[in-house]
Amino acid sequence: MAAPGVPLRVLSYNVHSQRDDTAALAEVVREAAPDVVIVQEGPRRFRWRQKSATLAESFGMVVAAGGLPSLGNLLLTTLRVRVTETRCQRYPLTPGRHLRGAAYARCRVGGVDFLLAGSHLSTDPAERPAQAAAFKRELAASPLPVVAGADLNEGPDGPAWRTVAEGLTDTAVAADRADRHTFSCADPRRRIDALFVDPRITVADYDVVDTPRTRRASDHFPVLVDLLLPTD
């Protein structure tokens, strides 16, 4: 018998600032048919609102939160998901480095509330731990079940990864698919993209979508996860 719960399909995806095949990118997301998409490297500069809306529309979705205020992190939803509250976060700036941040949305689906979150940590190993700690503080403060996607720019053996993962379920591990690499599409050798969820959430399925189309769409593979949200 299947575990009880409200189904939620989540896609976490670094879209490489839409510098690759954007038609393939839209096809990848539409074919996956997620309820929510957690985007890293989304629009964050000139006309970012219009570009974010255009990206969402190409996916058949709407913008929930993010963009420039979260420095390229973007949360998209279908109309099945009701968004009741949003906010963005910027991590402390290190001179000479790229700004990084996170986006958060309180969502409801099937009568169940949850926190949707997304972040993209620095490529600099000296910066990542503090950014991970800032992201983790926000996740830990939520009374709601958390669904958090991120490009951590390091693997599960890294300190930033361990900080974010503490107390949460690594969906790849839960599905016994932690051997699936997410980066790079040209030469997949690392798992640096992850989806973490509250232990109360059931991981029904997990996939790193590796197809000819995803190899054209971005330099990262998308992480696609089916969840069952707790009803009590």
Give the per-residue pLDDT at 1.
Answer: 42
| DSSP-derived secondary structure letter, 185 | S
User: How many domains are there within the chain?
Assistant: 1
Judge whether residue 2 has pLDDT over 60.
Answer: no
Give the per-residue pLDDT at 6.
Answer: 97
Under DSSP, is residue 10 helix (H, G, I), strand (E, B) or coil?
Answer: strand
Residue 112 CA neighbour count, 13 Å, CB half: 21
Task: Write the burial class of residue 139 (CB in 10 Å: 0-12 exposed, 13-18 middle, 19+ buried).
Answer: buried
In a domain, 1, yes or no: no
Judge whether residue 105 has pLDDT over 60.
Answer: yes
Label residue 99 by pLDDT band (50, 70, 90). confident
Other beta carbons within 10 angstroms of residue 92's beta carbon come to 10
Judge whether residue 96 has pLDDT over 70.
Answer: no
Judge whether residue 5 has pLDDT over 80.
Answer: yes
- Convert the pLDDT of each residue in 52-93 to its tens digit: 999 999 999 999 999 999 999 999 999 999 999 999 999 987
- Convert the pLDDT of each residue in 58-68 to its tens digit: 999 999 999 99
Residue 163 CA neighbour count, 13 Å, CB half: 18
In a domain, 153, yes or no: yes
* Domain CATH for 63: 3.60.10.10
Cα 150 to Cα 121: distance, rounded to the nearest angstrom? 8
Cα 40 to Cα 53: distance, rounded to the nearest angstrom? 15
Cα 133 to Cα 164: distance, rounded to the nearest angstrom? 7
Give the per-residue pLDDT at 232.
Answer: 79
Tracing tokens 């939520």 back to the chain, one arrives at: 142
- Provide the domain limits for residue 18: 6-229
In a domain, 93, yes or no: yes
Give the per-residue pLDDT at 69.
Answer: 92
Mean pLDDT confidence for 106-130:
96
- Convert the pLDDT of each residue in 164-192 to its tens digit: 999 999 999 999 999 999 999 999 999 99
